[in-house]
Amino acid sequence: MRFEFSLFSANMKPMNTQEKTLIVFKPDAVQRGIVGEILARFEKVGLKIIASKMVNPDTEHYNFHYEEIGKLGTRRGQKTLDTTVGMMTVGPVIAFLLEGVESIALVRKMVGATESKSALPGTIRGDYSHMSFAHADAEDVGLSNLIHASADPEEAKQEIAHWFKESEIFHYEAVHEKFTQPKKSHK
């Protein structure tokens, strides 16, 4: 006799492994002209772009993004919140939604640690920037670390709703999906 065990009991739903996540190319990435090069990294791992736009949001938009959702001032102090919002309003940013298998954690791994100085080589912040917290604090500036990425599923949900309307999000099948994000329907 053969017994088969399922990872899920009858009333438990399997984990939703298909996730959408927000990335925002900050003004330093846009003004340095390295957006395309960095974006290619996400395409290379098989993540799918499902929305994009260049915008220049105001202080109110960023206060909501960084404090109401991200709790940046609560975690790192009002001065950090203010310098970060000031850094972001300097120029246009380019926002994307990426979709893929557990994409929220994957993108954070690729982006690397908050402090560029500590971000490992191979990560975006580690490869393209070197700013430190000490320098940002001494100069009263934001830490220009190129890219924002949603931290976890709850933050991703709130950020996506804050940055994109439903009508700006596209649903299509990429040609590589049957290998990069295979599903039962591909069989």
Where do the DSSP E strands lie in 82-184? 93-101, 147-149
Q: Is residue 47 at the binding interface for ligand ADP, with CB under 6 A as the rule?
A: no
Q: Are the C-beta atoms of residues 35 and 106 closer than 8 Å to each other?
A: no
Which residue in the set 29, 38, 69, 136 belongs to the binding site for ligand ADP (CB under 6 A)?
A: 136
Q: How far is CA 11 from the centre of its chain?
A: 32
Q: What's phi and psi for 126, nearest 5 deg?
A: -70, -30
For position 84 contacting ligand ADP by CB under 6 A, the verdict is yes
Per the residue annotation, which of 61, 130, 135, 148 is the catalytic one?
Answer: 148
For 7, the token pair is 């990872």
Cβ nearer to ligand ADP, comparing 110 with 136: 136
Written as one string, the DSSP assignment of 173-184 is --TTHHHHS--G
Amino acid found at 106: L
Among 18, 114, 118, 132, binds ligand ADP (CB under 6 A): 114
Q: How far apart are CA 28 and CA 153, in angstroms?
A: 26
Interface with ligand ADP, residue 94, by CB under 6 A: no
Task: Indicate whether 80 belongs to the interface with ligand ADP (CB under 6 A).
Answer: yes
Active site residue 148: yes
72 in contact with ligand ADP (CB under 6 A): yes
Which residues inside 137-156 make contact with ligand ADP, applying CB under 6 A?
Answer: 137, 142-143, 145, 148, 151
Half-sphere exposure (CA, 13 Å, Cβ side) for 122?
A: 2
- Closer residue to ligand ADP in complex, CB, 27/100: 27
DSSP per-residue codes, 15-40 = P--EEEEEEEE-HHHHHHT-HHHHHH
Nearer to ligand ADP, 39 or 107 (CB): 107
CB nearer ligand ADP, residue 77 or residue 182: 77
Catalytic residues: 148
Tell me which residues touch ligand ADP (CB under 6 A): 70, 72, 76, 80, 83-84, 114, 133, 136-137, 142-143, 145, 148, 151
